[in-house]
């Protein structure tokens, strides 16, 4: 995944929480550490689809727990698209 894409992804997360993108760590959990609830997590997934033009598998996407897992999944999807 390009640095630009990673930066864009972290920027997207930081729009949803109080954490500036530079302070986000891969091991951070969306719910417990970043304060996501069901609604904003699902809205965030929708934003990922729109921003990176990918199609998420909803069943898989809802099981994503950490920033690193979400990044890995996005990388997997963008490689498939390519």
Partner 1 sequence: MEKELYPLNVGQMLQYLPIKETGTQRCCNISVFCGLQSPIDFGLLKHAVQDEFQRADCLRLRFTAPDENGDVMQYVVDHDDRDVPFLDLSGMTMSEADAYLQSKTYEEFNAPDIPMAEFTMVKMPEGYNGLYIHIDHRLTDSTALIVTVNDIMEIYCHYRFGSEYPAPLASFIDVLKKDLEKAGNSKRQAKDEKFWRDMLTEHGEPIYSDIQGPGVLRASRKAHGDRTLCAADVEKKDRSVGIADFHLEPEATQNMMDFCMNHNISMTNLILLAMRTYLSKMNGGQQDITLRNFVSRRSTREEWTCGGSRTLSYPCRTIITPDTEFLDAAYKVQDVQNRVYLHSNYDPMKVKAMMKELYPTPDDTEYISMSLTYQPMPVRMKNEHLKGINVRSVWYPNGAATKKIYLTVTHSTNDGGLIFDFHYQKASLTYHDMELLYYYMMKIIYKGIAEPDMTIGEIITYI
Cβ distance to partner 1 smaller for residue 3 or 77 = 77
Question: Binding residues for partner 1, per CB under 8 A?
Answer: 15-18, 31, 37-40, 42-46, 49-50, 58, 62
Q: Name, in order, each residue with C-beta under 8 angstroms of 24's C-beta and a sequence gap of 6 or more.
A: 10, 13, 14, 34, 67
Least distance in angstroms from the C-beta of 20 to partner 1: 11
Cβ distance to partner 1 smaller for residue 58 or 80 = 58
**Radius of gyration (Cα) for the chain, nearest Å?**
12
Cβ distance to partner 1 smaller for residue 16 or 33 = 16
Q: Name, in order, each residue with C-beta under 8 angstroms of 40's C-beta and a sequence gap of 6 or more.
A: 16
């Amino acid at each position: 995944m390009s640095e630009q894409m990673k930066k864009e992804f972290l920027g997207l997360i930081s729009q949803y929480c109080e954490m500036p993108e530079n302070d986000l760590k891969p091991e951070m959990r969306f719910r417990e550490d970043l304060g996501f609830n069901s609604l904003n997590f699902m809205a965030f997934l929708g934003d990922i689809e729109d921003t990176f033009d990918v199609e998420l598998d909803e069943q898989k996407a809802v099981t994503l727990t950490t920033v690193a897992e979400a990044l890995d999944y996005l990388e997997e999807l963008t490689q498939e698209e390519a």
